[in-house]
Amino acid sequence: MDPFSPFRTKMEADGLSEAAIRAFEHSYRALQRNETGMIRESDIDPVHQLPHCKDLPQVAPEEYLRLLQQTVVIKLNGGLGTGMGLEKAKSLLPVRDGMSFLDLIAKQILHLRAATGGTAPRFLLMNSFSTSADTRAALQKHPTLGDPAKLEMLQNRVPKVDASTLAPLAWPKNPAQEWCPPGHGDIYASLLGSGVLDSLLADGILYAFVSNSDNLGADLNPKLLSWFAQSSAPFAMEVTRRTAADSKGGHLARRHSDQRLILRESAQCAAEDALSFEDISRHQFFNTNNLWIRLDRLKEALEDNGGLILLPMIRNTKTADPRDESSPKVYQLETAMGAALECFSGAAAIEVPRERFAPVKTTSDLMVIRSNACVLTEDFRIELHPSRRGQPPLLELDKAHYRLVDGLETLISQGVPDLLECKRLTVKGKMTFAPGVKFSGIVSLQSHSPEGALVPAKTYADGHHDV
C-alpha cells in the first residue's frame, strides 16, 4: 500500500480540501526521499543590491483608486501566541491605547476605504481553527468592515508524522495532538481549496497584499502597489536590512543553479552554516513576510503544477505532546509562504524601510511597541520613532519572570519606561518600573529581591544598575 494512503484517508475524513491534501503530499514525498529542506551556503550567493521603495515615484490619486479596486489585503491570523502565554488569537492582545492588533488592522482598512469613498480594498483574514471563533467575535465591534464570516479564510491543518514509522501519528490520549498547523505556506492551498481565489478573480481582484497580523507597520502603500502592478512580476517580497535582532530570521539569497531569488529560513540552515546564516553583513536582507501576489499568475502556476505551488518542505522534529518530552518523536511538515519566491519565474524583491516591519514575537517586542520608541500614525500603523532611524531598542527581559504576558504586565503595571534613547536594555530579576523611568544607551538592570523591587523614577544611563 502507498504509505501516503493513510494520510489521505485521515485528511479526507477531516473534510480537508483536495488542494490541502495535495500540498501535504508534496511535503510528505520529500520526507520519504529523506529531504531535510536544508539549503547549503555553498549553493547560494548573497544579494547585495535591490531597488528601494524610497526611490519609487509618487502615485496619482486616481491611479491609486483604480488599483485599490483590484486589490485584496490578506492578514495571516492563525497564531495563538502560546509562547507568550496566550490562549486566544495573538491579534486580540492590547497594543496601544486599549486597541488590539485586530482593532488597528480594522482601522487601517476603514481609513483607506474612507479616503477612497468606497469599499476598496477587499479584506480577508486567514484564521486557524484555533483563532476563528475569537476573531469573529472581536470583529463585531467593527460592523462597517463587513460580515465576519465573509472576511475569513480558514487555514488547513495536517497530520503529524510518526518519526519511527513515517505513518500518521496515533495519539488516543488526545486526538487533537495528532494534528499540527502546516505553516503559512498553506495560504496557497487555502486560497485554492476554499474557492476564494476563483471568487476574487471573478470579481476583478488581481493583486493581493499579504502580511502578518502582528506587523502593524505593513500598510497598503500606494507606491509599492503601483510598482508591483507596473512590474508585471507574478510575486514580490518586501525585504529590509537585517540588524542583530534579525540574525536568526529568514534571509534573501540567490541560488547558483538557476539564479532565482530564494528565501532561506533558520530551519533550512545546516549547523555548519550557522555563522554564515547569521552574518548580517553577508546576508543583508531580511524577509518581512510582506508579500505581493498577482492572483491570475498564481492561478496559472497552480494549474500548471496540478493544483500545487511546489514549496520546499521544512521538517520540524517535535514530540507528540509538546508538554511531554517522553512522548514519541514526530515530524511536523511545514512550508513558508515566502518560499514561493523561488517558484515564480520573474519574481522580484524590493527593499523597504524598517518602519514596515514591526512584528511582536516576544514580550520584549510588545514592550517596545507600547513604548515611546514607536509611534501610532494617523492611518493606524505602528512604526519606529523617526529619531530611531530604523533601529529598534534591543530588550533582553529575564525569561524566568517576563516570558509570558502576565509577567510583562507586572513589570510595566505603573507605566512603560522611556526607551526613546535606549540602545539595549537587559532586565534581570523581579521588579516593577515606577512612572518616569528612562533608559539611555546600553543599560543592565538587576533586582535581587525575591518579592520584587520598585525601580525608582530617574534616567538610567550606560552601565549596570542594581535596584
Picking from 328, 348, 346, 330, the residue whose alpha carbon sits closest to that of residue 338 is 348
Torsion sign (Cα): 452, 457, 458, 462 = positive
Phi and psi for 105 in degrees, rounded to 5? -60, -45
Looking from the CA of 214 toward its CB, the CA atoms found within 13 Å total: 18
Q: Which uninterrupted H or E stretch holds 63?
A: helix 61-68
Q: Which uninterrupted H or E stretch holds 225?
A: helix 222-231
Q: What's the one-letter identity of residue 161? A: V
90 a catalytic residue: no
Distance CA 243, CA 245 (A): 5
* Residue of 223, 318, 329, 361 marked catalytic: 361
Q: What's the one-letter identity of residue 349? A: A
Q: Which are the contacts of 51, defined by CB distance < 8 A and separation ≥ 6?
A: 350, 351
Q: Are 43 and 261 in contact (CB under 8 A)?
A: no
Q: Which are the contacts of 371, defined by CB distance < 8 A and separation ≥ 6?
A: 393, 416, 417, 418, 419, 420
Distance CA 369, CA 91 (A): 14
Picking from 348, 180, 335, the residue whose alpha carbon sits closest to that of residue 250 is 335
Give the DSSP letter of residue 290.
E
Picking from 415, 311, 273, the residue whose alpha carbon sits closest to that of residue 26 is 311
Long-range contacts of 322-327 (CB under 8 A, 24+ apart): 327/171
Cell numbers given for 247: 540574525
Cell numbers given for 238: 518586501
Q: Compute how many other C-beta atoms are within 10 angstroms of the C-beta atom of residue 157.
A: 22
Cell numbers given for 208: 493581493
Distance from the Cα of residue 225 to its chain's centroid: 20
Cell numbers given for 183: 505553516
Distance CA 196, CA 199 (A): 5
Picking from 387, 391, 326, 332, the residue whose alpha carbon sits closest to that of residue 358 is 391
CA dihedral 163, 168, 170, 175 (to 10 degrees): 120
**Sequential DSSP letters for 386-408:** GGGTT-PPEEEE-HHHHSSHHHH
Cell 514525498 -> residue: 29
Cite the active site residues.
Answer: 361
